[in-house]
Chains A and B, each alone.
Chain A
Amino acid sequence: MSEQMRIMRSKELPEELRDRIVARHRSGQGYKKISQHMCFMIWFCFGLFCSCELILFLLLTGDGMNAYMAYKVSTQTSLTMFHSKTFTVRRRFSDFLGLYEKLSEKHLQNGYIVPPPPEKSILGMTKVKVGKEDPSSAEFVERRRAALERYLQRVVSHPSLLQDPDVREFLEKEELPRAVSTQALSGAGFLKMLNKATDAVSKMTIKMNEQDVWFDEKIQDVENEEQHMRKLHVMVESLVNHRKELSGNTAVFAKSVAMLGSSEDNTALSRALSQLAEVEDRIEQLHQEQAANDFFTFSELLADYIRLLGAVKGCFDQRMKAWQRWQDAENMLQKKREVEAKLLWANKPDKLQQAKDEIAEWEAKVTQYEREFERISATVRKEVIRFDKEKARDFKRQIIKYLESLLNSQQQLIKYWEAFLPEAKAIA
Chain B
Amino acid sequence: SFFPPKLFKRQTLCDMIPLVHSVSVDLNNDASLVIDIPDALCERDKVKFTVHTKTTLSSFQKPEYSVQRQHEDFIWLHDTIVETEEYAGLIIPPAPPKPDFEGPREKMHKLGEGESSMTKEEYAKMKQELEAEYLAVFKKTVQVHEVFLQRLSSHPMFRKDRNFQIFLEYDQDLTVRRKNAKEMFGGFFKNMVKSADEVLISGVKEVDEFFEQEKNFLLDYSSKIKDATAKAEKMTRSHKNVADDYNHISGALNNIAADNNTAFKKHLEKCAEVFEKLRKVEDRMASDQELKLTELLRYYTRDIQAAKDLLYRRARALADYENSNKALDKARLKGKDVAQAEENQKQCLQKFDKLSESGKKELTSFKARRVVAFRKNLIEMTELEIKHAKNSVSLLQGSIEVLKSN
Contacts and interface: CB of A to CB of B under 8 A. Distances in A.
Interaction A to B: yes
A403 B262 contact: no
A133 interface: no
Contacts of A425: 375, 379
Q: DSSP majority for the A interface?
A: helix
Contacts of B262: 388, 392
A229 to B, nearest CB: 6
Interface stretch (A16-24, A93-101, A240-248, A359-367): A240-248
Interface in B374-406: 374-375, 378-379, 382-383, 385-386, 389-390, 392-393, 396-397, 399-400, 403-404, 406
A417 B293 CA distance: 14
A43 interface: no
B291 to A, nearest CB: 16
A253 B229 CA distance: 9
A417 B385 contact: yes
Interface stretch (A59-67, A122-130, A178-186, A406-414): A406-414
A228 B389 contact: no
B13 interface: no
B234 A252 contact: yes
Interface string B251-294: 01101100110111001101100100010000000000000000
B140 interface: no
Interface string A217-255: 000010011001101100110110011011001101100
A8 interface: no
B310 to A, nearest CB: 17
Interface stretch (A143-151, A265-273, A336-344, A350-358): A265-273
Contacts of B334: none
A392 B267 contact: yes
Interface residues of B, number: 57
B242 A243 contact: yes
* Best-surrounded residue of B238, B241, B403 (most CB of chain A within 10 A): B238
Interface stretch (B162-170, B216-224, B325-333): B216-224
Interface of A: 221, 224-225, 228-229, 231-232, 235-236, 238-239, 242-243, 245-246, 249-250, 252-253, 256-257, 259-260, 263-266, 268-269, 272, 276, 388, 391-392, 395-396, 399-400, 403-404, 406-407, 410-411, 413-414, 417-418, 420-421, 424-425, 427-428
In the A-B complex, the 3 residue pairs with the smallest Cβ-Cβ separation, listed nearest first, are: A246-B238, A232-B252, A427-B375
23 contacts: A225-B256, A231-B255, A235-B245, A235-B248, A236-B245, A238-B245, A239-B245, A245-B238, A249-B238, A256-B231, A264-B221, A388-B264, A392-B263, A395-B267, A396-B406, A399-B267, A400-B403, A403-B271, A406-B392, A414-B389, A414-B393, A418-B386, A428-B375
Given A253-B228, A260-B225, 19 more contacts: A228-B255, A232-B255, A235-B248, A239-B249, A242-B241, A246-B241, A249-B237, A253-B232, A256-B228, A260-B224, A392-B267, A396-B406, A399-B403, A410-B389, A414-B386, A414-B393, A427-B371, A427-B374, A427-B375
